[in-house]
Amino acid sequence: MAEAKYISNDKLTAWLDELAGKMRVIAPTRQGDAVVFAPYASGQSVELAQEATAPPKSVVFPASEDLLRYDYRKNPENLGQVDVELLPTISPEPTLVFGSRPCGVRGFLIFDRVYDGATYKDPYYLARREATLFATIACGQAENACFCHSVGSAPGDATGSDLLLTPIADGFVVEAVSDKGAQCLESSLLEAAGGKADEAKAFREKALQEMGEPQDFGPAQQKLLELFDDMGFWEDVSAKCISCGACTYLCPTCYCFNITDENAGLTGRRVRSWDNCMSFQFTLEASGHNPRPTKAHRLKNRVGHKFSYYPNLHDGIIACCGCGRCIKSCPVSVDIREIVTKAMAHQPPAVEEAAK
Q: Check whether 85 has a pLDDT greater than 90.
A: no
Question: Percent of the chain at pLDDT above 90?
Answer: 86
Q: Which string of DSSP letters, residue by residue, matches 230-271? A: -HHHHHHHTTT-----HHHHT-TT---EEEEEEEETTEEEEE
112, 118, 120, 121 alpha-carbon torsion, rounded to 10°: 50
Q: How confident is the model at residue 353 (pLDDT cuts 50, 70, 90)?
A: low
- The confidence score (pLDDT) of residue 352 equals 53
Q: What is the mean pLDDT of the chain?
A: 94
Output the pLDDT for position 238: 97
Torsion of CA 315, 321, 326, 328, to 10 degrees: 150
Q: What's the average model confidence in pLDDT over 190-196?
A: 95
- CA distance linking residue 167 with residue 190, whole number of Å: 14
Alpha-carbon gap, residue 91 to 122, rounded angstroms = 14
pLDDT higher for 62 or 75? 62
What residues does each domain of the chain span?
Answer: 5-63+90-209, 220-265+275-355
pLDDT at 355: 54
For residue 356, is pLDDT > 60?
Answer: no
Q: Is the dihedral of CA 46, 176, 129, 151 positive or negative?
A: negative
Asked if pLDDT for residue 348 goes beyond 90, the answer is: no
Q: Give the pLDDT band of residue 86 (cuts 50, 70, 90).
A: confident
Torsion of CA 35, 142, 165, 50, to 10 degrees: 20
pTM: 0.91
Give pLDDT, residue 43.
87
